[in-house]
Amino acid sequence: MTKTLGTLLVVSLLSIPSIAMADDKKEVPEYLQKKYDRRVEDMKKFDKNKDGVLQAEELRESVATKFDAADINKDGVISEQERAASLDKFKSETGGAYGEALSRSQTNRIKNRYNNADKNNDGKISQEEYQAYMEKHQTNFDRDGDGVISKKEYRLDGEKLPSSYVRKLKED
């Protein structure tokens, strides 16, 4: 009996890698694959040293670039009018590339990002507020905690975070 149980245990442990591999090779629906492909292309824009992963410095640069693009009058603050103009510009630039529904979804994500970054709720987002919010947001990309964001981690950004990450966010 003990020998049979031991054999069963060994066989089941040996099958775990094949189950995990089968899950990795699961066919991805076309709409989801397009989203993944778009995220990888977006990532390439920020990967300045072209090593296929994002480091903290590259992410800081991307945040500064995004803030500068939204701060139209260059006063160091994104006003409500500048937010609206930034969202309109994003919609017009991405409508054809992403498709109308996805463009609308992404626009809502950016709108929520602006709202969340405005910590003091004064209708203006300072560079410090935006930087602090985005750094916290981007640390969630690094799901394995190795200090760099891989293509797989970056492309999964839009997916639901594991509950352990959600708890960590609420604690901060």
Report, in angstroms and rounded to the nearest whole number, the Rg of the chain calculated over CA atoms. Answer: 21
- Look up the pTM and report it: 0.63
Residue 14 has pLDDT above 50, yes or no: no
Q: Tens digit of pLDDT for each residue in 102-154?
A: 778 788 888 999 999 999 999 999 999 999 998 888 877 788 888 888 888 87
Q: Tens digit of pLDDT for each residue in 72-101?
A: 999 999 999 999 999 888 888 876 666 777
Q: What angle do CA 80, 135, 71 make, to 5 degrees?
A: 30
d(CA 139, CA 56): 9
Q: At what angle do helices 80-98 and 56-70 cross, to 10 degrees?
A: 110
User: What DSSP designation does 146 have?
Assistant: S
Domain 29-171 belongs in CATH node 1.10.10.10: no
d(CA 127, CA 131): 6
Please report, for the chain, the start and end positions of each structural domain, with discontinuous segments joined by +: 29-171
